[in-house]
Each structure stands twice: as C-alpha cells, then as structure tokens.
Structure 1
Amino acid sequence: MLKGLGGIGDMAKMMKAAQEMQGKMAELQEEMARTVVVGESGGGLVKARATCKGEVTGLDIDPSILVASEKEVVEDLIIAAIKDAQVKGHARNVAEMQKMTQALGLPADFKLPI
C-alpha cells in the first residue's frame, strides 16, 4: 500500500551525508586559513608568507637588496614573492579539496566550492 516510501530512508541518508560533508568542508576551510605557505623570488632574497586562503602574513627581505637605486626591482621582487605564495596556497587548497572529494566517493573532477 505504501510502496515507494523506502526512498525516504535513502533521502535521510543523503541529508546526513550532506551535513557531514558540510562539516568537513568547514573544518578544511579553517585549516586552510591557518596553513601558511612561503613564496620566494630573486633566488630566495624575498620571501612572502601567506595562508592557503591568500592572506599575506609576513615578508622577509634580504637587506643586501635594499639599495635606493634598486627600489623598483625590490618592489617587483616583493610582488613576485607574494604572488608565488598565493599560487602555492591556492594549489594546496585545491589539492586538499580533491582529497576530500575522493574520500567522499565523488568523481575526481567534481568541483567543491573553495
């Protein structure tokens, strides 16, 4: 008489899985906000630290390049180091998301919101 109600259990199971995934996503986002990567430029003369979410947290500049006549070069090296850190952070974030999708049994190319 009540055929088809077996699907309700499947729906509840899906909802529970979605809630678990949401919790894991939140944990991963928090972890990525705490994880720091280092970008470099100029053969390591300039180093920038940034979180995997892209927030720059620090900058190290070798004093040997702080010459007034080389101001533009130093500025370019700083920008390059920051970009390198942000690229590394994004790549780490994507890799962690891919691990999560695989652990959840989703297709490898499934895109979770980052």
Structure 2
Amino acid sequence: MNGMNMGKLMKQAQDMQRKMSAQQAEIDQQEFTGKAPDDLVVATFTGDRKMKDLQIKKEALDPDDPDMISDLTIAAVNDALKQIDETTKNKMGQFTQGMNIPGL
C-alpha cells in the first residue's frame, strides 16, 4: 500500500515538473519592454533575460549631461527585469505556493 502512495506521489511530482518546464519555456519566449521616463530609452528583453533591443532617443544624448544616458539606460533595463521577475513569480508561484522557496 505504501509503495502505491509513493508511486502516485512520484507521478504527481513528475507532472508538476513537466508543467513547470512548459511554463518556464513560455516565459522565456515572451518579450518584456522596460522604459525610462518619457520613453527616452527603451530596453527589450526575452524572458530568459537576454537583451533583444535597446532604443535610445536622440533627446537622451545630452553632451552637457553624459551621465543622463547611463541613468536612463539603467532605469529601462531595471524596469524590464522587474517585469520578468514579476511574471515569473506570478506564473511559477502556482507550483510553489506554500513551499517557501526563496526567489519565487
């Protein structure tokens, strides 16, 4: 009897792992677009955190303030990465609910 319960538990774990892998693959294929204020810099990432595009408006290039472009780029990149984290947490959280797994 105990072996049957363990077999059922293992099957459930394998099913959950397959679903989690499929969900992660779906997230990895999504695009996330982060924007700096006034859309002066727009960074696009895939869900697996690979930068796909970076658009910089000419208004962001101020020769009197060279640090501005860095600040705007950081803001856009961080915005996109935050979106990836939130989407991952929301979609993967259904599998880890109540498990107290750090990072999810």
When normalised by structure 1's length, the TM-score is 0.78
After the TM superposition, which residues 1-114 of structure 1 pair with which residues of structure 2 at under 5 Å, given as runs?
6-99=1-94, 101=95, 108-110=97-99, 111=101
Q: How many equivalent pairs are there?
A: 103
Segments of structure 2 that go 5 or more residues without pairing to the other structure are: none
Q: How much is the aligned-residue C-alpha RMSD, in angstroms?
A: 2.0
Query: Sequence identity of aligned pairs in percent?
Result: 27
Measured after TM superposition, the shift of residue 69 of structure 1 is 2.6
Q: 1:113 to 1:87 in 2, by over 3 A?
A: closer
Closer/same/farther in 2, CA of residues 74 and 112 from structure 1, 3 Å limit: closer
Amino acid in structure 2 at the alignment position of 1:25: M
Unaligned runs of 5+ in 1: 1-5
SS of residue matched to 1:29: helix
Using the size of structure 2 for normalisation, the TM-score is: 0.84
CA distance in 1, matches of 2:37, 2:98: 35
